[in-house]
Amino acid sequence: MSPAETAIDQADTSVGAMSHEDYYNLAAQVLPGAGLGGYSLPEDVRFVIHRGEGSRLQDVRGRWYIDYVGGAGALILGHAFPSVVAAVQEEVPKGLHFFGTLNEKAILLAKELVDAIPCAEKIAYTTTGSEATFYAMRIARAYTGCSKILKCEGGYHGNHDYSNFSVSPGALSNYPVGRPDTAGMPSSLAESVLVGPYNDLETIRKIVEAERADLAAIIVEPVQRVIFPRDGYLEGLRKICDDNDVLLIFDEVVTGFRLAYGGAQEYFGVKPDLASYGKIAGGGGPVGCVGGSDRIMEQCNPVNRGKPTYAYINGTLHGNPIGCAAGLATLAELRTPGFYDRLHGRSADLQAACQKVLDRHNLPALAIGRGSLWQIVFMDKEPESFADFIQCDMASTRDLDIGLMKNGLYVLPGVRRFVSAVHTDEDFDNTVAALDAACRAMR
């Protein structure tokens, strides 16, 4: 793809087993909304992935896209990174999956995770990030004997019922009462999940002090979506938790191995009691984990099964050897000296180049983010709270993103995106050209 070409301009040479249309017709018969999850893309930009290579995806029509979705942030090394592929290829012939007892790769990755995650003396495996936050909450409740969890408005902790309160409410919540984001939630759950504002220590302190008798933990995304913590915010949460005997859980599903090798804990210098991981920890494979101190993680020691304080953790795919092999190979790359400095520096350059384009077109939009997390949003200042974020012009934000998709980028409309270590200078030039074309179309 050259800067002048867009995904739509590219001549189609089918590479799929079926045509684009046949795949969509089949998908419409067997998948709700012909989709894989929560996204329903407009017909003129949706595509069926044939393969991924480095920073790019190819669809079944043979068109290439520069990928900033990165497997929802799991693919910090892009697609099919050679050492990750080699590790998986070595593992696959030995068996895809085991259960009930240890396997070599699961032990070796657990050691790397404990070494990497500042708050972890032990980890318990999960399959996904959602499970990792679900179990962190369960362990916190088992450890403290309390039943409630406080989360932040706008914070996402996965697909389970304890997460789906006030993740994307249309209006601010009546703290500490959250708003369910989905149908199908048990009504009784609203009593167990409290909601407070991100980056507002005063309100969080008041909620904690009022609820401390039955509050097990605060769970927080250290970087909430693309909103970074104010100076002292995470330290303040740590202190509020300590003052009130409440546990602090960092949801590091995105920030873990993304902001730094030691995740947000290293990047911001704050240690929670428990941390949930997913995504990069398994190099794109089915691996997540909860990490914490020996004392807290003892709650899920299976020898305690049957005791009232035992927190049950179990899953068919936990410690899956293929995912663990991919995780081990990925983490080895991330330990290369200078890896994060280079990634962050390149991402900052890309953001700055995008901001220049937006300014040149006089569009009231900002390229926001830090590290390798970024997004273009129509707003006049970097958001510091969910209240700021819902002021943003989401319709224009989405329109621009759809324009980017039409011009050869894979982004999800209105969603934060990721730079990977394998995005090239040519990708960045093409991205700036795509943004320029999308801005022109918007005007």
Ligand X SMILES: Cc1ncc(COP(=O)(O)O)c(C=O)c1O
Q: For residue 126, state whether it binds ligand X (rule: CB under 6 A).
A: no
Size of the site for ligand X (CB under 6 A): 14
Question: Minimum distance from CB of 73 to ligand X (Å)?
Answer: 7
Q: Of the candidates 158, 180, 263, 371, which one interacts with ligand X according to CB under 6 A?
A: 158
Interface with ligand X by CB under 6 A: which range of 126-134, 188-196, 356-364, 376-384? Answer: 126-134
Residue with tokens 């693919």: 75
Q: For residue 157, state whether it binds ligand X (rule: CB under 6 A).
A: yes
Q: What sign for the dihedral angle of Cα 181, 69, 29, 406?
A: positive
Q: Which 283-312 positions form the footprint of ligand X (CB under 6 A)?
A: none
Q: Of the candidates 146, 234, 254, 365, which one interacts with ligand X according to CB under 6 A?
A: 254
Residue facing ligand X at closest CB distance: 129
SS3 content of the chain, % helix, strand, coil (to 5): 40, 15, 45
Question: Where in 108-205 does DSSP place strands (E)?
Answer: 122-126, 148-152, 193-196
Interface with ligand X by CB under 6 A: which range of 40-48, 154-162, 305-313, 383-391? Answer: 154-162
Q: Of the candidates 52, 70, 129, 413, which one interacts with ligand X according to CB under 6 A?
A: 129
CB closer to ligand X out of 194 and 254: 254
CB closer to ligand X out of 196 and 408: 196
Which DSSP symbol is given to 64? E
> For 225-243, b where at least 16 C-beta lie within 10 A, e where not — what string?
bbbbbeeebbebbbebbee
Element (H, E) at 71: helix 70-73
CB closer to ligand X out of 161 and 399: 161
Question: Minimum distance from CB of 116 to ligand X (Å)?
Answer: 18
Q: For residue 253, state whether it binds ligand X (rule: CB under 6 A).
A: yes
Q: For residue 72, state whether it binds ligand X (rule: CB under 6 A).
A: yes
CB closer to ligand X out of 56 and 225: 225
Q: Of the candidates 59, 67, 153, 221, which one interacts with ligand X according to CB under 6 A?
A: 221
* DSSP-derived secondary structure for 309-374: T------TTTT-HHHHHHHHHHHHHHTSTTHHHHHHHHHHHHHHHHHHHHHHTT-S-EEEEETTEE
* DSSP-derived secondary structure for 215-264: EEEEEE-SSBTTBPPPTTHHHHHHHHHHHTT-EEEEE-TTTBTTTBTTHH
d(CA 153, CA 175): 9
Q: How far is CA 299 from the centre of its chain?
A: 26
Question: Residues 30-69: x/- map of binding to ligand X (CB under 6 A)?
Answer: ----------------------------------------
Q: Supply the residues annotated as catalytic.
A: 156, 251, 279
Question: Minimum distance from CB of 310 to ligand X (Å)?
Answer: 24
d(CA 219, CA 34): 34
CB closer to ligand X out of 259 and 433: 259
Q: What sign for the dihedral angle of Cα 119, 121, 124, 128?
A: positive
For residues 87 and 93, is the Cβ–Cβ distance under 8 A? no
Question: Minimum distance from CB of 16 to ligand X (Å)?
Answer: 26
Which of 287, 291, 364, 269 is CA-nearest to residue 328?
287
Residues in the chain: 443
Q: Which 131-150 positions form the footprint of ligand X (CB under 6 A)?
A: 133
Q: Of the candidates 65, 156, 410, 418, which one interacts with ligand X according to CB under 6 A?
A: 156
Triad 101, 104, 109: Cα angle to 5° = 105
d(CA 365, CA 6): 22
Question: Minimum distance from CB of 79 to ligand X (Å)?
Answer: 18
Q: Which 232-251 positions form the footprint of ligand X (CB under 6 A)?
A: 251
Q: For residue 130, state whether it binds ligand X (rule: CB under 6 A).
A: yes
Interface with ligand X by CB under 6 A: which range of 124-132, 184-192, 208-216, 352-360? Answer: 124-132
d(CA 420, CA 430): 15
Q: Of the candidates 6, 55, 103, 128, which one interacts with ligand X according to CB under 6 A?
A: 128
CB closer to ligand X out of 41 and 412: 412
Question: Minimum distance from CB of 176 to ligand X (Å)?
Answer: 20
Question: Minimum distance from CB of 129 to ligand X (Å)?
Answer: 2
Interface with ligand X by CB under 6 A: which range of 15-23, 128-136, 378-386, 405-413? Answer: 128-136
Which DSSP symbol is given to 199? T
Residue with tokens 């097990």: 216
Question: Minimum distance from CB of 322 to ligand X (Å)?
Answer: 16
Question: Minimum distance from CB of 416 to ligand X (Å)?
Answer: 9
Q: Which residues in this chain contact ligand X in the complex, by CB under 6 A?
A: 72, 128-130, 133, 156-159, 221, 251, 253-254, 278
